[in-house]
């Protein structure tokens, strides 16, 4: 089969995008067959709700998010490494981050995922909102014929209302974000909460269609992929989820959706609603409740999270389906009002928990950061430290669900007093894995790059010894030195201890007495001290005495 496929491909000229044409042809053919046998006319359906059949609001929002990524974050020059740090939601005292965080993104994959989510769930939300009023009156028809009339019956006003509403939800997700969040996902979840109240299974379907769009995008971008297995440094996927931000968006959208379906007197089947909410919450990882334990460790409370999404599905089903009957006897409070009030109270609670974090300031809280372990770059302090109190995640121990947290920061830390930034940008473990990582700081219209590098020797039977350097504008600054470590093997009654520094050295001891000391030899060279000869063969270091040779350390080169 493979020879035939290669022969078929070789027939076409090299300049012809064969794979792309094959993909487009397959999509057109498949969609045509589905439309033929399904009797589905997407143009007719779109024109019933969209002016000229086009979701102008969703396209405008998507274009705005893409514009911010390309030109505000400078993603057009650095598509895989935009400016991120100044645009996170750090504090109420740093309004740039609060306002910009909902519309900025961490990387190309991040912005692509949220734009795909907007172009799928957002289109359905705009379809539910509609460019036309639910009941078109003669006045509305007349206003369309006469031109623009500033009423909610006019499509232009309704499109503008959808765009403004999306931006307002985005701003709310920034104002009430828990921690230094970034990304448009809060608005995407609001779209989903809105549409789930009317089209629960349809929302799940368009959510899955986003995966189809992602596959098509990746297939056009990289028609073929050749890749070998390689080690990677990863943290749990759920540790990167802004659960509070997603829940905030979902509840805002759900409240708007509940109001709309009640006003229009159209409610989905209760079982469909419950199923749609549950599937959506599980699919989007809203069950992933976790706490940081420190040292790049996190604890996931899967059972509690699973219980929470089942209760969420039940609550929203009650809020949509509840009747006008009194809650207690002849009470004026009705079931539907009680359910809606409970949803509103939960929304307020979700938003309120973020307020204390957003009152954070970093003034006089730079414990562990000194002139010796840091450099200055246009108002930013970039430092390397280990085991210092994390000033953003409280350094006060507390008990949570049976676990005691004690969050310390170890790694490359970025501080900016004017913008209320204090952040562990690169963890100690990640720097130890990659050995060379770029840290990008900046603001609107400018950016600077600092290179953090780690030089490491892995000592047999003990911890590694290493130094950390920060590099900016071709100036290299030594900012950290680890503790010495003694290799476990004993050669001729002697031990070798590695001493890190701007140049790495070793000392030979016997029964605690220092017999000699020298610098570690260069590649493919040897040096003698204290009765031992240390031979370096490529990245491995051996200790020799007479006919005995033992490996005692290994140099770890930085990744390219």
What pLDDT, in 10s, does the model give residues 466-501? 999 999 998 999 999 999 999 999 998 899 999 999
> What is the pLDDT, as a whole number, of residue 58?
96
CA dist., res. 280 & res. 200, Å (int)? 9
CA dist., res. 446 & res. 439, Å (int)? 14
CA dist., res. 519 & res. 521, Å (int)? 6
CA dist., res. 252 & res. 176, Å (int)? 12
**Closest alpha carbon to 543 in 438, 475, 460, 479:** 460
Higher pLDDT, 356 or 521: 521
Per-residue pLDDT, averaged over 307-322, amounts to 91
> What is the pLDDT, as a whole number, of residue 366?
60
Which residues fall within 8 angstroms of residue 424, CB to CB, at 6 or more apart? 390, 409, 410, 411, 412, 413
Q: Retrieve residue 195's tokens.
A: 């549409």
> What is the pLDDT, as a whole number, of residue 388?
86
Q: Is the dihedral of CA 175, 179, 183, 186 positive or negative?
A: negative
Q: pLDDT tens digit string along 404-451? A: 555 778 899 999 888 888 888 999 989 998 899 999 998 888 899 999
> What is the pLDDT, as a whole number, of residue 395?
41
Higher pLDDT, 362 or 279: 279
297: pLDDT strictly greater than 80: no
CA dist., res. 429 & res. 413, Å (int)? 13
Q: How far is CA 310 from CA 63, 191, 303, 304, in A?
A: 36, 20, 11, 10
Q: pLDDT tens digit string along 15-38? A: 556 667 777 888 888 878 877 777
C-alpha 346 chain-centroid distance? 25
Name the pTM for this structure: 0.85
Q: Retrieve residue 430's tokens.
A: 């990640």
> What is the pLDDT, as a whole number, of residue 547?
79
Which residues fall within 8 angstroms of residue 554, CB to CB, at 6 or more apart? 457, 458, 460, 539, 540, 541
User: Which helix (DSSP H) or strand (DSSP E) does residue 412 occupy?
Assistant: strand 408-416
Which residues fall within 8 angstroms of residue 120, CB to CB, at 6 or more apart? 206, 207, 209, 210, 213
* % of the chain with per-residue pLDDT over 90: 50
User: Which helix (DSSP H) or strand (DSSP E) does residue 448 occupy?
Assistant: strand 446-459
> What is the pLDDT, as a whole number, of residue 392?
72
Q: Which of the residue ranges 132-141, 319-328, 444-453, 486-495 would you say has the lowest mean pLDDT?
A: 132-141
282: pLDDT strictly greater than 80: yes
> What is the pLDDT, as a whole number, of residue 4?
53
Helices 108-117 and 200-221: crossing angle, nearest 10°?
140
**Closest alpha carbon to 188 in 81, 105, 131:** 105
CA dist., res. 540 & res. 555, Å (int)? 6
Per-residue pLDDT, averaged over 363-391, amounts to 84
> What is the pLDDT, as a whole number, of residue 145?
54
Per-residue pLDDT, averaged over 195-206, amounts to 94
Q: pLDDT tens digit string along 43-75? A: 788 888 888 989 999 999 999 999 999 999 999
Q: Which of the residue ranges 182-186, 189-193, 295-299, 516-520 would you say has the lowest mean pLDDT?
A: 295-299
Per-residue pLDDT, averaged over 99-109, amounts to 94
> What is the pLDDT, as a whole number, of residue 397?
47
245: pLDDT strictly greater than 50: yes
CA dist., res. 82 & res. 441, Å (int)? 10
Q: Is residue 182 within 8 Å of 245, Cβ to Cβ?
A: no
Paired with 485 in beta bridges are: 498
**Closest alpha carbon to 539 in 517, 529, 524, 549:** 524
Per-residue pLDDT, averaged over 147-165, amounts to 84
> What is the pLDDT, as a whole number, of residue 231?
67
**Closest alpha carbon to 529 in 514, 549, 512:** 514
CA dist., res. 178 & res. 357, Å (int)? 7
Higher pLDDT, 252 or 297: 252
> What is the pLDDT, as a whole number, of residue 552?
93
At 558, is the secondary structure helix, strand, or coil?
A: coil
Q: Retrieve residue 305's tokens.
A: 């999270």
Per-residue pLDDT, averaged over 103-123, amounts to 93
The residue written with tokens 């770059």 in the block is 377
**Closest alpha carbon to 374 in 294, 472, 473, 455:** 472
310-342 exposure pattern, b = at least 16 Cβ within 10 A, e = fewer: eebbebbbbbbbbeeeeeeeeeeeebbebbbee
Instruction: Domain ranges for the chain, please list them.
Output: 1-40, 41-223+239-358, 374-481, 485-556
Q: How confident is the model at residue 136 (pLDDT cuts 50, 70, 90)?
A: low
Pairing mode, strands 485-486 and 495-499: antiparallel
Q: Retrieve residue 40's tokens.
A: 């589905």
At 185, is the secondary structure helix, strand, or coil?
A: helix
> What is the pLDDT, as a whole number, of residue 12?
55
Rg (CA), the chain: 30
Average pLDDT of every residue of the chain = 85
> What is the pLDDT, as a whole number, of residue 9?
58
CB atoms within 10 A of CB 554: 15
Per-residue pLDDT, averaged over 121-131, amounts to 94
CA dist., res. 310 & res. 316, Å (int)? 10
89-120 exposure pattern, b = at least 16 Cβ within 10 A, e = fewer: bbbbbbeebbbbbbbbbbbeebbbbbbbbbbb
Q: How confident is the model at residue 220 (pLDDT cuts 50, 70, 90)?
A: confident
CA dist., res. 255 & res. 80, Å (int)? 36
Per-residue pLDDT, averaged over 196-225, amounts to 86
């Amino acid at each position: 089969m493979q020879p035939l496929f290669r022969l078929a491909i070789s027939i076409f000229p090299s300049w012809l995008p064969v794979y792309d044409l094959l993909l487009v042809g397959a999509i057109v053919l498949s969609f045509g067959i589905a439309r033929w046998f399904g009797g589905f006319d997407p143009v007719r359906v779109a024109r019933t709700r969209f002016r000229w059949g086009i979701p102008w609001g969703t396209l405008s929002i998507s274009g705005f998010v893409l514009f911010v990524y390309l030109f505000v974050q400078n993603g057009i020059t650095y598509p895989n490494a935009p400016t991120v740090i100044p645009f996170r939601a750090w504090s109420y005292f740093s309004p740039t981050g609060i306002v910009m965080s909902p519309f900025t993104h961490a990387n190309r994959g991040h912005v692509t995922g949220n734009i795909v989510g907007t172009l799928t769930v957002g289109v359905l939300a705009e379809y539910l909102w509609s460019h036309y009023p639910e009941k078109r009156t003669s006045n509305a028809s007349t206003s369309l014929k006469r031109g623009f009339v500033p009423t909610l019956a006019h499509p232009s006003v309704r499109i503008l209302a959808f765009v403004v509403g999306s931006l307002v939800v985005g701003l709310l997700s920034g104002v009430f974000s828990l921690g230094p969040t970034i990304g448009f996902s809060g608005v995407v979840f609001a779209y989903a909460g809105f549409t789930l109240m009317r089209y629960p299974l349809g929302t799940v379907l368009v959510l899955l269609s986003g995966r189809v769009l992602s596959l098509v995008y990746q297939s056009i971008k990289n028609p073929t992929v050749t890749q070998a297995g390689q080690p990677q440094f990863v943290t749990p996927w759920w540790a990167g989820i802004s659960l509070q931000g997603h829940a905030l968006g979902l509840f805002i959208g759900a409240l708007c959706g509940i109001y709309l379906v009640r006003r229009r007197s159209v409610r989905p089947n209760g079982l469909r609603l419950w199923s749609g909410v549950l599937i959506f919450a599980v699919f989007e990882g809203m069950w992933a409740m976790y706490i940081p334990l420190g040292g790049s460790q996190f604890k996931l409370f899967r059972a509690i999270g699973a219980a929470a999404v089942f209760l969420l599905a039940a609550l929203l089903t009650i809020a949509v389906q509840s009747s006008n009957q009194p809650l207690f006897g002849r009470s004026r409070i009705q079931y539907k009002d009680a359910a809606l009030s409970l949803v509103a109270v939960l929304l307020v609670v979700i938003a309120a928990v973020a307020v204390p974090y957003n009152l954070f300031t970093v003034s006089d809280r730079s414990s562990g950061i000194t002139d010796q372990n840091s450099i200055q770059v246009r108002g930013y302090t970039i430092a390397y430290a280990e085991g210092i109190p994390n000033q953003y995640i409280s350094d006060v121990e507390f008990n949570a669900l049976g676990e005691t947290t004690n969050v310390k920061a170890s790694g490359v830390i970025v501080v900016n007093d004017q913008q209320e930034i204090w952040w562990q940008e690169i963890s100690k473990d990640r720097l130890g894995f990659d050995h060379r990582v770029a840290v990008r700081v900046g603001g609107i219209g400018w950016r600077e790059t600092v290179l953090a590098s780690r030089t490491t020797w892995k000592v047999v039977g003990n911890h590694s010894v290493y130094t950390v350097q920060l590099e900016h504008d071709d100036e290299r600054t030594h900012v950290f030195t680890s503790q010495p470590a003694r290799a476990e093997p004993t050669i001729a009654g002697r031990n070798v201890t590695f001493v890190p520094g701007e140049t790495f050295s070793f000392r030979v001891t016997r029964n605690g007495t220092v017999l000699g000391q020298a610098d570690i030899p260069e590649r493919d060279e040897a040096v003698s001290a204290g009765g031992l000869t240390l031979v370096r063969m490529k990245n491995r270091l051996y200790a020799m005495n007479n006919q005995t040779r033992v490996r005692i350390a290994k140099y770890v080169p930085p990744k390219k």
